[in-house]
């Protein structure tokens, strides 16, 4: 037979299509929902490795292997007087001659013959072989064949086992060509004609029409390609009558519409598969929309919660500053009223002045600050609980929708995973809400705040301990004045000392109050911000399994859609080349 059934351009297209299908299979292998569909495309892609497939069937010793060798022009298969083909054998191209026995019923023979890159043969055991080989042949290779060469021997044409096997393969609707091998053993044209008439008569009954029949001598054709003399080679070739069969095969397989359909077929399978996957992905995307809305709502809720905490905390803590500011104003007014020359007799009583300061200035500052801090704590604890409850509401709503979507069935794996995830996250949050202890949470938060305040090193007694600090600031001035009175110098310098000491005491007092206000504000703000961040972190951690799932699924769907669009483009480009290259 000729070395190639394709033009150079068609052959290049064939290689490009094989490469494209390999790339598509590799891409699809990375897509979870496509994995169970890969065998369909793999099987379709194999048709290009067997672009043209000829299946040779017949009785034991009908010369099937010899016929294949004759058509290939090489001794690719073993021959002999005893049955040599005991299993279904696929003959295909390979870099070197090699036989691989796959199992007891199947083998693959590779051979470095250019024609085998386009045209593969299947050699079969005799039609009276065990049924397993017949099943593999009829179920796996006859449906994929382009031509079935039904080979019968001139010494026993059309046996009963051959007629029975013919009935098995006719159901596939494949083109069957009859070959009468060993025609050279029939010495006269009359005897050859009788054998042909017998085959045609029996085949017509089975086919419903007269068959195509070629008498050949595979033995003569083999002797021809082994002959060294050109004249003898041509004589033997003519005697073999193989040229007529080969011409018929080439003409049949060279049909452009057949070639176009064979090259389009795996592309059609690939496109159909991509369309199915696209529908699945779109369905998953629709199913995920409600999850995406729920996930966004949860994340937006937490973001709004964080924003609210930031905006509301400062005004609430400003109330503490207001208390300190009022305290400062009362203190300065106290110094103006007490540290005066007219009050010199009371100034010698430091303990009395301290007591007056604590009553008139300090008063209930400590309790007011404690009360305000406790109000901030209660606000934060209550807000935290409301946030957990809102998150739970979103999850319950999504859970309800999810259950309504799968009523009447167990749901697919994605729905089951979603339901389990929502239930798991919901149970965790429900447990947190049901076990939420306001007193415990407030006590924990108060302890954190007190620790932060204590670390400022400005407060030694109670929650803030302001009395000792201010009394100390005042005491130094009182003692100085008392000392001056005792020395009898007030008459001379009192007009100058007392105003100076008053100014000094006020500046010292203001400086201490400012430092105290700054440090207390930083301590309280830092403590509450830390607790706010902890609250937000707990919320985010609780919903993160669900939100991570939603984001991962969204990313997976987007990636898959991109992959499917790229594959669809590859299919479209190759198909366009087929339509252009393989044409009448």
pLDDT at 424 over 80: no
Q: Classify residue 422 by its DSSP letter.
A: H
pLDDT at 411 over 50: no
pLDDT at 367 over 90: no
Closest CA to 180 of 64, 65, 60: 64
Q: Classify residue 376 by its DSSP letter.
A: H
The whole-angstrom separation of Cα 292 and Cα 287 is: 9
Q: According to the 3-state scheme, what is the secondary structure of 301-355?
A: HHHHHHHHHHHHHHHHHHHHHHHHHHHHHHHHHHHHHHCCHHHHHHHCCHHHHHH
The whole-angstrom separation of Cα 13 and Cα 305 is: 61
pLDDT at 404 over 60: no
- The answer to whether 90 and 108 are in contact (CB under 8 A) is yes
DSSP 437-458: -HHHHHHHHHHHHHHHHHTTS-
Longest dimension (CA), the chain: 166
Name the pLDDT band for 20 (thresholds 50, 70, 90). Answer: very high
Vertex 116 angle, CA 113 and 121, to 5°? 125
**Per residue in 479-499, pLDDT tens?**
443 343 344 444 444 455 567
In the chain, the N- to C-terminal Cα span, in Å, equals 23
pLDDT at 51 over 70: yes
pLDDT at 23 over 90: yes
The whole-angstrom separation of Cα 416 and Cα 409 is: 11
The whole-angstrom separation of Cα 219 and Cα 97 is: 22
What's the token pair of residue 543?
A: 């919903």
pLDDT at 41: 86
Name the pLDDT band for 17 (thresholds 50, 70, 90). Answer: very high
The whole-angstrom separation of Cα 161 and Cα 165 is: 6
Cα distances from 398 to residues 302, 391, 549, in angstroms, run 17, 11, 14
3-state secondary structure of 348: coil
Q: Which of 135-139, 213-217, 366-370, 480-484 has the highest mean pLDDT?
A: 213-217
Which of residues 172 and 215 earns the better pLDDT score?
215
pLDDT at 302: 87
Q: Could you tell me how many residues make up the chain?
A: 584
Name the pLDDT band for 575 (thresholds 50, 70, 90). Answer: very high
The whole-angstrom separation of Cα 30 and Cα 556 is: 11
Which of residues 134 and 399 earns the better pLDDT score?
399
pLDDT at 564 over 70: yes
pLDDT at 259: 81
The whole-angstrom separation of Cα 233 and Cα 242 is: 13
Least confident range from 129-143, 257-271, 278-292, 550-564: namely 129-143
Helix axes 438-454, 365-405, angle to 10 degrees: 130
| Mean pLDDT in residue range 230-234 | 89
- The answer to whether 368 and 330 are in contact (CB under 8 A) is no
pLDDT at 101: 87
pLDDT at 147 over 80: yes
Quote the percentage of the chain above a pLDDT of 90: 16
**Per residue in 81-124, pLDDT tens?**
555 566 788 999 889 999 998 887 788 999 998 888 888 899 88
How many Cα atoms occupy the beta-carbon half-sphere of 37 within 13 Å? 19
Vertex 197 angle, CA 191 and 203, to 5°? 140
Average pLDDT across the chain, whole number: 77
pLDDT at 250 over 80: yes
Domains in the chain: ranges and CATH:
50-254 (3.40.50.300), 282-581 (no CATH)
Closest CA to 470 of 371, 369, 330, 347: 330
Give the list of residues 6+ apart from residue 483 with CB closer than 8 angstroms, or none: none
Name the pLDDT band for 128 (thresholds 50, 70, 90). Answer: low
Element (H, E) at 252: helix 242-253
Quote the percentage of the chain above a pLDDT of 70: 75
pLDDT at 26: 92
| Mean pLDDT in residue range 412-433 | 63
The whole-angstrom separation of Cα 376 and Cα 196 is: 108
Closest CA to 295 of 192, 377, 394: 394
Least confident range from 142-146, 349-353, 570-574: namely 349-353
Give the list of residues 6+ apart from residue 249 with CB closer than 8 angstroms, or none: 1, 54, 71, 147, 177
Q: Edge-to-edge strands of the sheet including 119-123?
A: 98-103, 106-111, 88-93, 119-123, 52-58, 147-153, 176-181, 212-215
Name the pLDDT band for 10 (thresholds 50, 70, 90). Answer: confident
Name the pLDDT band for 421 (thresholds 50, 70, 90). Answer: low
pLDDT at 359: 78
Which of residues 401 and 457 earns the better pLDDT score?
401
**Per residue in 291-318, pLDDT tens?**
888 888 888 988 888 888 888 888 888 8
Which of residues 534 and 432 earns the better pLDDT score?
534
pLDDT at 410: 40
pLDDT at 503 over 50: yes
* Phi, then psi, of 458 in degrees rounded to 5: -105, -10
pLDDT at 215: 95
pLDDT at 481: 38
pLDDT at 412: 54
């Amino acid at each position: 037979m000729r070395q190639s059934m394709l033009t150079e351009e068609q052959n290049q297209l064939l290689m490009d299509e094989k490469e494209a299908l390999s790339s598509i299979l590799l891409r699809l292998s990375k897509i979870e929902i496509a994995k169970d569909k890969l065998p369909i495309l793999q099987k379709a892609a194999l048709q290009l490795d067997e672009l043209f497939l000829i299946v040779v069937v017949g009785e034991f010793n009908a010369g099937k292997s010899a016929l294949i060798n004759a058509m290939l022009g090489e001794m690719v298969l073993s021959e002999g007087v005893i049955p040599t083909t005991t299993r279904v054998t696929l003959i295909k191209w390979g870099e070197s001659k090699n036989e691989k026995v796959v199992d007891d019923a199947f083998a693959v023979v590779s051979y470095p013959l250019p024609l085998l890159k386009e045209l593969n043969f299947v050699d079969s055991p005799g039609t009276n072989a065990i049924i397993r080989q017949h099943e593999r042949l009829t179920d796996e290779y006859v449906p994929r064949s382009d031509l079935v060469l039904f080979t019968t021997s001139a010494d026993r044409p059309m046996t009963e086992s051959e007629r029975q096997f013919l009935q098995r393969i006719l159901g596939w609707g494949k083109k069957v060509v009859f070959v009468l091998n060993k025609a050279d053993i029939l010495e006269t044209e009359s005897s050859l004609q009788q054998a042909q008439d017998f085959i045609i008569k029996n085949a017509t009954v089975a086919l419903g029409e007269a068959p195509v029949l070629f008498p050949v001598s595979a033995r003569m054709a083999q002797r021809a390609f082994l002959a060294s003399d050109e004249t003898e080679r041509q004589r033997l070739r003519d005697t073999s009558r193989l040229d007529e069969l080969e011409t018929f095969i080439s003409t049949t397989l060279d049909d452009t519409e057949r070639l176009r359909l064979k090259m389009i077929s795996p592309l059609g399978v690939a496109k159909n598969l991509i369309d199915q996957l696209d529908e699945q992905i779109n369905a998953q995307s629709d199913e995920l929309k409600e999850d995406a809305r729920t996930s966004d709502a949860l994340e937006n809720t937490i973001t709004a919660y964080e924003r609210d905490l930031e905006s509301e905390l400062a005004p609430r803590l400003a109330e503490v500053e207001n208390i300190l500011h009022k305290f400062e104003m009362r203190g300065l007014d106290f110094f103006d009223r007490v540290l005066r020359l007219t009050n010199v007799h009371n100034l010698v009583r430091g303990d009395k002045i301290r007591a007056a300061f604590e009553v008139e200035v300090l008063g209930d500052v400590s309790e007011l600050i404690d009360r305000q801090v406790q109000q901030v704590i209660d606000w934060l604890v209550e807000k935290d609980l409301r946030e957990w409850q809102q998150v739970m509401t979103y999850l319950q709503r999504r859970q309800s929708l999810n259950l309504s979507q799968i009523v009447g069935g167990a749901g697919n794996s994605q729905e089951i995973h979603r339901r389990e995830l929502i239930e798991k996250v919901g149970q965790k949050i429900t447990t947190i809400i049901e076990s939420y202890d306001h007193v415990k949470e407030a006590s924990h938060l108060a302890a954190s705040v007190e620790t932060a305040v204590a670390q400022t090193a400005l407060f030694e007694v109670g929650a803030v301990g302001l009395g000792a600090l201010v009394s100390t600031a005042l005491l130094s001035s009182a003692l100085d004045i008392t000392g001056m009175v005792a020395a009898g110098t007030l008459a001379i310098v009192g007009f100058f000392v007392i105003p100076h000491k008053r100014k000094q005491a006020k500046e010292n007092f203001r400086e201490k109050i400012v430092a105290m206000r700054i440090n207390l504000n930083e301590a309280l703000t830092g403590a509450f911000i830390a607790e706010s961040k902890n609250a937000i972190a707990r919320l985010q951690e609780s919903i993160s399994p669900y939100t991570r799932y939603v984001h991962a699924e969204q990313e997976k769907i987007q990636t898959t859609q991109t992959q499917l669009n790229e594959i669809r483009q590859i299919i479209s480009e190759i198909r366009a080349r087929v339509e252009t290259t393989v044409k009448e």
